[in-house]
Structure 1
Amino acid sequence: MPSMVTEPYLEFDSMTELPDSHAWAPIDHDPVGRDNMEEAVPVIDLEDPNVFSRMADACRSWGAFQVTNHGVPPDVLDGIERAGMDLFSLPLERKLRAARSPDGVTGYGVARIAPFFPKRMWSEGFTVIGSPADHSRQIWPHDYSFFCDIIDDYKKEMERLTSKLMGLILGSLGATKDDTNWESPSDCDAIQLNYYPICPDPDRAMGLAPHTDSTLFTILYQSNISGLQVLEESSATWIEVPPLCGALVIIVGDLLHILSNGAYASGLHRAVVNRTRHRLSVVYLHGPPSGVRVRPLPGLVDADRPPLYRPVTWSEYLGAKAKYFDKALSCVRICAPPMKGLMA
């Protein structure tokens, strides 16, 4: 695995120039999407009678879509946004009290994909799996329960929504929950808060570098600031996913690509930054329970459509992703020999 960049954390608000450690090649900040609706990431009403076909089209063509009528109360979305802004507006020394350990997965820190890139990203994050109490106690020793309560409320809503979305996605593939060997919610789901500060030179900075998620799917709530982009592969064009009031973004992950036997595309996405406004996103990473092996659905496999991928657990796949990054899917393809260290 590549070595982690070791420069100290930045106090972003005090930066008036972009340091070389964060200076990327010039970035195109004029994506398609907002004004050309023919090239826009689909917006799907979950109460639409054609939801299955619309979802199937979006997953095949884009690997991403936005949803409305999802049932998550506005006050829950407002609450998690306020909690995130309260957290990231604290002085760096306070946030570092909850710093992620070198071999840890939760707490405050840089993007976990950082080791795979030569430059650092203009962002900071906070990851929660299970209860955030231990880390939030370090940040707010006298009153941390407010943060835990907000995270708990958000998690409950996401668990309800992931169950609904899983049923719809399976329906779009002509399957049902009986065709999988697990129940939602998962015991491994995570909440990731991402913060993209104001940047003195946004044309040469990257908020979050291009990547796919290792999930079944990801639910993303973004504050009212543009920054999320999805790659439209046929034209190799980055497409803006504009914030829509109350909408949530769904991104197809690598495990759903496997479950669909390659029919649904993993959504390659990135985040850019801007000069005048900071941006927050809240990401819910949904996958199967630990120990469950994800494999192509039986109804998508026959003599003419052999399985493309070997069964793999989420933890095994995360290990492959941590080692091989964008080559992880290749190492679980049946036609490819197993890469050293990955269980078959």
Structure 2
Amino acid sequence: MASLSPRGLQLLRKSHKFTNYVCPKCSSFSTNPTLQSGHNRWSKIKHDKAGVDAKKHVLRSMLSRDIAQASKLYGADPRTNPTLANVLVQAKKAGFPKASQEAAIARGQGQSASGASLESLTIEAIMPPSIAMVIDIETDNKARALQELRHEVKRYGGTVTPTSYLFRRRGRVQFEKDERGLGVDEVLDEAIEAGADDVEIDDDGNLIVWTEPSGTIGAARSLAESFKLTIESSDILWDPNEDTLVPLDSESALASLKNLVNALQDDQSVQGIYVNISQGKVSDEAWAELQEKIPHISETGSSLFYYMAQAPIKRYRTPPQPKAQGTLYHQGDANIYFECPYYSMESSAEVKPSTTKLELRTAYGPVFRDVLNVPPRDCTSEEIPIIDLTPLKSGDLDDRKKLASQIKRAAMNTGFFYIRNHGISEEVIGSAKKQLLTFFKQPEGDKDKVNRSKSKFYNGWRGTGKTNISPSESIDVHESFAFRYEPELDPDYKDPAAVPDEVRPWIRGERYVWDGTAHLPNFKQDIIEYWSACLTLARKLVQIFALSLDLDEHYFDEKVTYPGADGVLNYYPVATEAERASDAVGLGSHTDLQLFTLLWQDYHVGGLQVLNKEGQWIKAPPITETIVVNIGDFMMRLCNDLYKSTVHRVYNRAEVERVSMPFFFGLNFNCVEGVIPTCTSPDNPPKYEPMSCGDWCQLRFELEENEMKKKNALQELAPSGKVIPA
């Protein structure tokens, strides 16, 4: 077979031209010109298709976000969520795949399509020239999401760096424009009473109410009910500080910002984008384009945030008469009734979320609670209010009684509340926190000097994985250091030699915890200073509790002279991937034992969750310069269940370590108390027999200790097996 040389191949390539050949006969009948390279029909189709696909992509991204928002705000069941039902109708008409719809609904419930829990993250960045940006995301793969978003920010000229200090976390409620023309003056007083800190009317005549994050839902519902208003949206967002707004003075900065926002809009994990900009020198046309691209950007400056596109659903002020098959009416906030076109009346039975049994340890054995299988949400100001303790120092008894009324409402509701102006200085707290970190950062050998195993009364250090406070949950992932009351450390000093004989057996402080930490400079001094401040506050606060129960203000004074006053330092390490995968808890579900607890939690790291009456976990986020107070079991016994000792836990998913310093306060441990007379009546007889606070605590301590020993023993017998709680 003949072969061609390289030169021959080259000549052949030059001489052979690939052209579109058309038969002369056919050419005479053709209505189209001969197609030439670069001008063929597929080229035109390809470009047209690309435009159509881009529009479809944008539409599907918007639908996905709307479905997730509707699911998050009003629930995952379209039969009881008309907003979700209407968006699903639109999605179906647009050809949005069913699998994608289900994934978006799951995302709204804090889960991925596979059922994995979603975690909330915040990315902070600076865009040129110096525009601060905060991006809120929810993802089931934190590492991947962080990598992708950091890449996008860098791609468009930005830098990932802290910027949240240029913003304020706020709640924003938007009400539908009211035909009565309600203005700021008409609603201001009521709004402030409901927890709002600002009220305004936007350019479209909608009423906008700003609140603290924890009070958003409560304020929205209160105003909707009081003024018969319709809630259009309710969001927690990052609002830029007015004095940090950056003017857009160049087209290049505008282009970079728009390009990044376009890229972020395509990412379904992105829940909100916030920037601190004003129009500056960019043209009105360019600014208008940005306003069109990013809803709700104002003329002077704004956070950029996305609200759910509200579907056009008919609303009624009174329950409408039943219509024909195919219409479902749903009662929403403020008694507004919605017409839902998605499901028929026959299929409109309410579907409640499933529940999981939660086992709790008590002094009398296990009890069980039903917990809703829904993601935790932020608490409202009604559920966990902030109470100002300034009246505590007032010489006017009426002022203190008003304070007692506020505390009574909170204690009867969730049993949790924040206190502000409590009298414990930030310097004292800061010094104690510094010593806490110093202790836990030591080598384990140094911490072992004060190991809990050396204590008779549960003092000292316990390492990670040494407790399992809730049988239904994982081993507790935290370390602790505990110490108990000693008369000579009391700010109201008491001579140890003068302690009454009936009290002496109940003094549970042990010197070894201080001897074993003597090598840490000022450790005992700083920790005891914080503990003493808590004890002083608790003795004042228990007088307010007495007033709240219609008792004499000094009813408890002689019962807290040698009180249960337990100090604890807690350290929660960053959760490992294995702990996240197994849904491990920092501290399992439990109730506290004594009268009440004063809890300082790290201002920058959340994790505390409270189980509300409906069986849903609600978050009790840290609030600067406040302390959390919660009711304990013994207080609940004393008041015949009037006040609530509520289940709570620590669920730590932060990327940084978390610390807390609880102080548990109770009566003298030898003090035997039954139900307080003012809390009983012929219709409400005492539910509990008299018992000492010390015996009550001892029963629970021993139960938890014995259960942990049993679990450890089983683990030693079968180290490769999994111990299943009975």
TM norm structure 2: 0.38
Contact 1:186/1:287, CA 8 A, preserved across alignment: no
Match status 1:74 vs 2:419: no
Q: Which residue of 2 aligns with 1:60?
A: 412
SS at match of 1:321: helix
Q: Which residue of 2 aligns with 1:106?
A: 459
Distance of aligned partners of 1:232 and 1:85 in 2 relative to their CA distance in 1, 3 Å threshold? same
Q: Which residue of 1 aligns with 2:687?
A: 308
Choose which of 352, 366, 377 in structure 2 pairs with 1:32: 377
Tell me the distance in 2 between the aligned counterparts of 1:85 and 1:147.
11
Match for 1:114: what amino acid?
N
Choose which of 534, 540, 558 in structure 2 pairs with 1:182: 558
Match status 1:199 vs 2:575: yes
Residue 93 (structure 1) shift: 2.1
Match status 1:153 vs 2:533: no
Distance of aligned partners of 1:56 and 1:112 in 2 relative to their CA distance in 1, 3 Å threshold? farther
How far does the alpha carbon of each residue in 1:316-342 deviate from its partner, in whole angstroms, 9 at most, with x for none? 1123323567xxxxxxxxxxxxxxxxx
Q: Which residue of 2 aligns with 1:231?
A: 611
Match for 1:31: what amino acid?
P
Residue 114 (structure 1) shift: 2.4
Contact 1:197/1:278, CA 8 A, preserved across alignment: yes
Match status 1:41 vs 2:384: yes
Distance of aligned partners of 1:156 and 1:29 in 2 relative to their CA distance in 1, 3 Å threshold? farther
Residue 241 (structure 1) shift: 0.9
Contact 2:383/2:410, CA 8 A, preserved across alignment: no
Tell me the distance in 1 between the aligned counterparts of 2:385 and 2:681.
31
Tell me the distance in 2 between the aligned counterparts of 1:302 and 1:40.
28
Q: Which residue of 1 aligns with 2:516?
A: 138
Match for 2:480: what amino acid?
G
Q: Which residue of 2 aligns with 1:90?
A: 442
Which structure has the higher relative contact order (CA within 8 Å, separation 6+)? Answer: 1
Q: Which residue of 1 aligns with 2:483?
A: 128
Tell me the distance in 2 between the aligned counterparts of 1:275 and 1:216.
30
Match for 2:479: what amino acid?
E
Gaps of 5+ in 1: 1-26, 326-344
Residue 254 (structure 1) shift: 0.3
Tell me the distance in 2 between the aligned counterparts of 1:91 and 1:29.
40
Distance of aligned partners of 1:294 and 1:177 in 2 relative to their CA distance in 1, 3 Å threshold? farther
Q: Which residue of 1 aligns with 2:205?
A: none
Distance of aligned partners of 1:187 and 1:172 in 2 relative to their CA distance in 1, 3 Å threshold? closer
Distance of aligned partners of 1:98 and 1:317 in 2 relative to their CA distance in 1, 3 Å threshold? same
Residue 161 (structure 1) shift: 0.4
SS at match of 1:114: coil
Tell me the distance in 2 between the aligned counterparts of 1:280 and 1:317.
28
Distance of aligned partners of 1:227 and 1:252 in 2 relative to their CA distance in 1, 3 Å threshold? same
Tell me the distance in 1 between the aligned counterparts of 2:602 and 2:470.
27
Q: Which residue of 2 aligns with 1:271?
A: 650
Q: Which residue of 1 aligns with 2:666?
A: 287
Tell me the distance in 2 between the aligned counterparts of 1:215 and 1:253.
5
Tell me the distance in 2 between the aligned counterparts of 1:176 and 1:207.
40
Residue 183 (structure 1) shift: 3.6
Residue 165 (structure 1) shift: 1.0
Q: Which residue of 2 aligns with 1:13?
A: none
Q: Which residue of 2 aligns with 1:24?
A: none
Provide the alpha-carbon RMSD of the alignment. 2.5
Residue 155 (structure 1) shift: 2.0
Tell me the distance in 1 between the aligned counterparts of 2:630 and 2:469.
23
Distance of aligned partners of 1:246 and 1:297 in 2 relative to their CA distance in 1, 3 Å threshold? same
Distance of aligned partners of 1:99 and 1:324 in 2 relative to their CA distance in 1, 3 Å threshold? closer
Distance of aligned partners of 1:320 and 1:239 in 2 relative to their CA distance in 1, 3 Å threshold? same
Choose which of 525, 538, 562 in structure 2 pairs with 1:162: 538
How far does the alpha carbon of each residue in 1:92-128 deviate from its partner, in whole angstroms, 9 at most, with x for none? 2221221111754100015886265373111010001
Choose which of 262, 276, 279 in structure 1 pairs with 2:641: 262
SS at match of 2:558: coil
Higher helix share: 2
Contact 1:132/1:148, CA 8 A, preserved across alignment: no
Match for 1:57: what amino acid?
R
Q: Which residue of 1 aligns with 2:699?
A: 320
Count of residues in Structure 1 that have an aligned counterpart in Structure 2: 294
Match for 1:42: what amino acid?
P
Match for 2:607: what amino acid?
G
Match for 1:194: what amino acid?
N
Contact 1:41/1:239, CA 8 A, preserved across alignment: no
Structure 1 window deviating more from structure 2 (311-320 vs 182-191): it is: 182-191
SS at match of 2:378: coil
SS at match of 1:126: strand
Q: Which residue of 2 aligns with 1:3?
A: none
Tell me the distance in 2 between the aligned counterparts of 1:217 and 1:112.
25
Match for 2:541: what amino acid?
L
Distance of aligned partners of 1:259 and 1:67 in 2 relative to their CA distance in 1, 3 Å threshold? same
Tell me the distance in 2 between the aligned counterparts of 1:218 and 1:207.
18
Distance of aligned partners of 1:112 and 1:319 in 2 relative to their CA distance in 1, 3 Å threshold? farther
How far does the alpha carbon of each residue in 1:171-229 deviate from its partner, in whole angstroms, 9 at most, with x for none? 11211244447343434311011111001233511000000011100100011210111
Q: Percent identity?
A: 25
Distance of aligned partners of 1:198 and 1:250 in 2 relative to their CA distance in 1, 3 Å threshold? same
How far does the alpha carbon of each residue in 1:224-243 deviate from its partner, in whole angstroms, 9 at most, with x for none? 2101111112x211111111
TM norm structure 1: 0.78
Contact 2:440/2:447, CA 8 A, preserved across alignment: yes
SS at match of 1:299: helix
Tell me the distance in 2 between the aligned counterparts of 1:246 and 1:284.
16
SS at match of 1:266: coil
SS at match of 2:683: coil
